[in-house]
Amino acid sequence: MPIETIYEAKIEYLQILDETGKLDKKLAKDTLSDEQVVEAYEQMWICRQLDEIAFKLQRSGRMGTYPQNKGQEANAAGSAMAMVKGTDWVIPCYRENLAMHLHGMPYHQILMHWMGDERGNMIPEGVKMTPLSVPIGTHMLHAAGIAWAMKLRKEQGAVITYFGDGATSEGDFHGAMNFASVLKVPTIFYCQNNQWAISVPFEQQMASKTVAQKAFAYGMPTIRVDGNDIFAVYKAVSDARKRAINGDGPSFIEGLTYRLGDHTTADDARRYRDAAEVEAWMEKDPLIRTRKYLVDQNLWDDEKQASLGERAEKIVSEIVKAAEGVPDPDKTEFFDHMFAEIPADLREQRDTMRTSSLGINPDQVGLKAQPQRA
């Protein structure tokens, strides 16, 4: 019997706006308008300025550990603009500040999270989003579950979840991918491949040439895009969203990008990354290439840049003031946001500030009378 090929696959790479700011007009058709590109650039710039100030806040002891988004802003901008605010769900990791903001999360609450104030994780009413996730990969399961609920309820919309290349080595990633593909739920899995899982380089944590090819194991449409290209990101996510809302199931997108800063403010990437590599990726900075494009199209100039710089400084200053100016929480708030309806024993603890339920019931585990020794 002859050997029969039963499966073949290929990975496409999508780039529409290259490092020099040159646009492939054919591929860019029906993607972003001039007004949207200007808006995206302005928002990326503001996000970058917030990053710089957040770094200073940590260094001055005014905030805890913080992970900069620097260099990865186009992934968040392009993808968030392709999703529909108020209809679609955003399930973030911790380098999607701009995507969270564009879908309704106030920046000052994101800073509050990193300042250790749990009220920063209170999602505003009507915003379809989960709190940012620091544990690696766990939130992808939430994305698959939310998408399944949407499908069962016949709700219009899709779910996008973000994660890094290192997260695809976690078991939760594979569980979420399998669940989503088998049940054909409207989930978009967006991997920000910044090529470093903290200090472990891409080629040392996986043998596959791309992250995108991991989706083949789950029969899922997949593509690798230039993650520093807002046009490519927008198009890939738009196409994935169309498949999702048409009932064609989940998609996987690998956004090839680079973490220009340290993993977090608790890290020093100079200890493990080559300076020449970082320098090469700085030339691919999404802010620089987007500005080059806008200038070439006579949509941007030095005067507009100066105005944006002043506006961004004022906005970020107000964000920091709002985050640091939040009144101290009332001690009862500890109880108020865990349950939709607080149980009676916790209500008593809240109202009396005593663990009354334990004190009045000595038969509870751990408080039973111990047998006397002879």
Task: Report pLDDT digits (tens) over 339-351.
Answer: 889 998 888 888 8
AA letter at 89: W
- What is the average per-residue pLDDT within 158-185? 97
- What is the average per-residue pLDDT within 221-237? 98
- What is the average per-residue pLDDT within 239-244? 98
Range of the domain at 345: 332-363
The active-site residue out of 103, 108, 241, 259 is: 259
Sequence-ordered strand ranges (E) for the chain: 13-14, 89-91, 159-164, 187-193, 196-197, 200-201, 222-226, 251-256
User: How far apart are the C-alpha atoms of 38 and 44, rounded to whole Å?
Assistant: 10
259 is catalytic: yes
Q: Are residues 354 and 305 in the same domain?
A: no
Within a domain: 371: no
User: How far apart are the C-alpha atoms of 359 and 364, rounded to whole Å?
Assistant: 9
Taking alpha carbons only, the member of 256, 172, 260 closest to residue 211 is: 256
Q: Are residues 220 and 316 in the same domain?
A: yes
User: How far apart are the C-alpha atoms of 63 and 264, rounded to whole Å?
Assistant: 12
AA letter at 223: I
13 is catalytic: no
pLDDT of 88 reads: 98
Q: Are residues 210 and 348 in the same domain?
A: no
pLDDT of 202 reads: 95
- What is the average per-residue pLDDT within 306-328? 97
pLDDT of 253 reads: 98
Q: Are residues 301 and 342 in the same domain?
A: no
3-state secondary structure (DSSP) of residue 33: coil
Q: In sequence order, what are the beta bridge partners of 44? A: none
pTM: 0.92
Output the average pLDDT for the chain. 94
Q: Which residues of 321-333 are buried (b: 16+ CB within 10 A; e: fewer)?
A: eebeeeeeeeeee
User: How far apart are the C-alpha atoms of 279 and 62, rounded to whole Å?
Assistant: 30
Exposed, middle or buried by CB within 10 Å (0-12, 13-18, 19+), for 360?
Answer: exposed
**Non-local CB neighbours of 300 within 8 Å, separated by 6+ positions:** 38, 41, 291, 294
272 is catalytic: yes
Within a domain: 142: yes
**43-89 residue pLDDT tens:** 999 999 999 999 999 999 999 999 999 999 999 999 999 999 999 99
In this prediction, residue 335 has a pLDDT band, given cuts at 50, 70 and 90, of confident
Which CATH number belongs to the domain containing residue 205 in this structure?
3.40.50.970
User: How far apart are the C-alpha atoms of 236 and 220, rounded to whole Å?
Assistant: 14
The active-site residue out of 263, 273, 289, 291 is: 263
Q: Describe the chain by its helix, strand, coil percentages, rounded to 5.
A: 50, 10, 45
Is residue 358 pLDDT above 80, yes or no? Answer: no
Number of domains in the chain: 2
The active-site residue out of 119, 272, 347, 354 is: 272
pLDDT of 58 reads: 97
Q: Are residues 265 and 355 in the same domain?
A: no
Ordered DSSP codes for 123-152: PPTT--BPPP--SSSTHHHHHHHHHHHHHH
Q: Are residues 279 and 346 in the same domain?
A: no
Is residue 369 pLDDT above 90, yes or no? Answer: no
Q: Are residues 225 and 358 in the same domain?
A: no
**Non-local CB neighbours of 204 within 8 Å, separated by 6+ positions:** none
**Non-local CB neighbours of 60 within 8 Å, separated by 6+ positions:** none
pLDDT of 356 reads: 57
Whether the Cβ atoms of residue 306 and residue 34 lie closer than 8 Å to each other: no
Q: Which two tokens stand for residue 237?
A: 């996510």
Angle ∠(118,121,123) on CA atoms, nearest 5: 145
Q: Are residues 48 and 195 in the same domain?
A: yes
Is residue 283 pLDDT above 90, yes or no? Answer: yes
Taking alpha carbons only, the member of 192, 186, 182 closest to residue 242 is: 186
In this prediction, residue 353 has a pLDDT band, given cuts at 50, 70 and 90, of confident
Q: Scanning the structure block, which residue is given the tokens 């090839």?
A: 256
- What is the average per-residue pLDDT within 27-37? 97
As a whole-number percent, the residues of the chain with pLDDT over 70 amount to: 95
Q: Are residues 227 and 132 in the same domain?
A: yes
Which helix or strand (DSSP H or E) is residue 95 part of? none
Is residue 373 pLDDT above 70, yes or no? Answer: no
**Non-local CB neighbours of 259 within 8 Å, separated by 6+ positions:** 68, 70, 71, 72, 95, 194, 195, 196, 269
Within a domain: 272: yes
Whether the Cβ atoms of residue 114 and residue 63 lie closer than 8 Å to each other: yes
Within a domain: 8: no
